[in-house]
Amino acid sequence: MSEDTKEKIVEGAYRALVRDGYTRATVKDIASEAGVAPGLVHYYFDTKEALLVAAIEHGCKANMLAARALEMTDPLAAAHAGFELEKEQLRSARDLYLLVFDMFGVGLHNPVIGAAVRRYIKDRREEIKLVGSALLSGLPQRPPHSDDALSAVIWGAFVGISLQKLTDAEFDSDAALDALSDMVFSYLPVPVEKVG
């Protein structure tokens, strides 16, 4: 069996899960979307939970690469670019956000998905922490809160803003992210000029 077939199944799972949600999408729906027999889905993935996790990883791939590219630059520029990346993702990756929030809900009651949710959240906070820690390390006076706490607050705000945008198309997520950015940078003990 080929990696191409497995990738087709993951892509089909992504489309079916976004369209129908985790509870309504069946393995048969996923196989149909992928253009393969249901038996092949079972060959590559033991459970529907494993398919959900693979689909979310598939959906996050481009965003994760963009976030990692930011970490390689100047920390201040990376922090500002991170807010801009979040704006762009809310405009261009609505399907991914739908799938992630579906995963959050399922994860509250399903221990397998719950473990994937905890990994996902930890990874997202860690991405923010890497940029934040690099930015804070160059300051003469550090804020009183830990890097872990600060990254959790910023990521939690991103999640709240994205949920508001998903539930209300008229919600101005760009303005909310700009306000969050201003609050984050005003929290720093020295003035920080906005980049670009």
Q: Select from 1.10.10.60, 3.40.50.1860, 2.40.50.140, 3.40.50.460 the CATH code of 1-46.
A: 1.10.10.60
What is the predicted pLDDT for the residue at 71?
Answer: 58
pLDDT band at 195 (very low <50, low <70, confident <90, very high): very low
Domain boundaries, the chain: 1-46, 58-187
pLDDT > 70 in the chain, percent: 89
* Contacts by 25-33, CB closer than 8 A, 24 or more apart: 27/51
Which residues, other chains included, contact 133 with Cβ-Cβ below 8 Å and sequence gap of 6+? 147
| 47 backbone φψ class: left, alpha, beta (φ>0; ψ -120 to 50) | beta
Which residues, other chains included, contact 43 with Cβ-Cβ below 8 Å and sequence gap of 6+? 1
Torsion of CA 95, 107, 150, 61, to 10 degrees: -40
What is the predicted pLDDT for the residue at 3?
Answer: 83
Q: What is the CATH number of domain 58-187?
A: 1.10.357
For 85-130, the pLDDT digits (tens) are 899 989 988 888 888 899 899 999 999 889 988 988 998 899 889 8
Residue 191 pLDDT more than 70? no
Residue 68 pLDDT more than 80? no
For 10-26, the pLDDT digits (tens) are 999 989 988 998 889 99
